[in-house]
Structure 1
Amino acid sequence: MRLSNLADYAVVTMSAAARHCGGGRTSASELAGETGLPVPTVQKVVSKLTAAGLLRSTRGAGGGLQLARPAAAISVADIVEAIEGPIALTACVDGTNCAVDHDCSVKPHWPIINSALRGALADIPLTQLTRSKEMA
């Protein structure tokens, strides 16, 4: 399993945004500069993260971007789901796109596996990603 580039960029962007906590607002351009990502990519990611309620965008003088809730209350699972949708390793869990017929003996187990994966990602708060490598 591999995250899409956009989900990866969202985690990187949110980590950068979290480093601004308590220090006021930031901008997509500033986040792009800090992360090395192209401005249009960061703008696209920011739009999705804002729509998901993870970032708050304020227009006008003194406006900008800030986390919508404390970094400790935002998990990697929240960020990934904002970009990718529900975390699932297979498409057949919801009854569509299953390559195997209805007699599949593994299908009942996928929700357990997906839950375990989501739980692992939910256990990693954004604050953990903002620490330096020495502290992690």
Structure 2
Amino acid sequence: MRLSTKGRYAVMAMADLAVHSQNKPVALADIAERQEISLSYLEQLFGRLRKGGLVKSVRGPGGGYMLSRPGADIRVSDIILSVDEPIQTTRCSPGTPAGCHNNKGRCLTHDLWEELANQIYLYLSSVSLEDVTERRVLGTSGLIQGFESTAAQ
């Protein structure tokens, strides 16, 4: 399974927003600079995040984006799904009985990969944005390189 840049960048940007907002709007240009993500790409992602109800925009001088609710109430799965990033591990279309073989049959390992997608979704649903920003999701890799220095800015 591979998570595209759309999902990864959305989570990175939301984590940055959560860390830097302090109850005031954050400009996308600032997030783009800190996270080294194209501003135009972020604008597209934040349009989807806004439609998904995860962020709200503030217009005018000093405007930008804010989280629509506390980070503890936003799940990583919500972020990924709001930018239309499917959590899929099979070649088959999710939820359809047709498989990926030419005869529409399912491969021998279909159920294995489908259950993996379910477990990934369950895990991402169990992790809040606050868990990420408070570093309660450290794995065996240790601290995330680069985020520590940007979070302190």
SS of match in other structure, 1:92: coil
How far apart in 2 are the matches of 1:83 and 1:89? 18
The verdict on how the C-alpha distance between 1:92 and 1:19 changes in structure 2, with shifts beyond 3 A counting, is same
1:45 aligned to 2:48? no
Unaligned runs of 5+ in 1: none
Kept after mapping to 1: 8 A contact 2:77/2:124: yes
Contact 1:92/1:107 (<8 A) preserved: no
In the alignment, is residue 95 of structure 1 matched against residue 122 of structure 2? Answer: no
- SS of 2:117's equivalent in the other structure is helix
- Aligned match of 2:149: none
* Length-normalised TM-score, structure 1: 0.80
Give the match for residue 126 of structure 2: 123
Q: C-alpha root-mean-square deviation of aligned residues, in Å?
A: 2.6
Alignment of 1:1-136 (within 5 A): 1-90=1-90, 91-95=92-96, 98-100=99-101, 101=103, 104=106, 112-131=115-134, 133=143
The answer as to whether partners of 1:93 and 1:107 remain within 8 angstroms in 2 is no
1:66 match: secondary structure: strand
Q: Write out per-residue CA displacement over residues 31-67 of structure 1, whole angstroms, 9 at most, x where no aligned residue.
A: 1122121211111111111111111112224532100
Shift of 1:83: 1.6
Percent identity reads 26
Relative distance call for 1:37 and 1:109 in structure 2 (3 A) is closer
Q: How many residues align?
A: 134
For the residue of structure 1 that corresponds to 2:56, the secondary structure is strand
CA distance in 1, matches of 2:38, 2:114: 36
**Counterpart residue identity of residue 70, structure 1:** P
5+ residue gaps, structure 2, are 136-142, 145-153
**SS of 1:12 mapped into structure 2:** helix
Quote how far apart the aligned CAs of 1:113 are: 3.8
State which drifts further: 3-12 or 58-67: 58-67
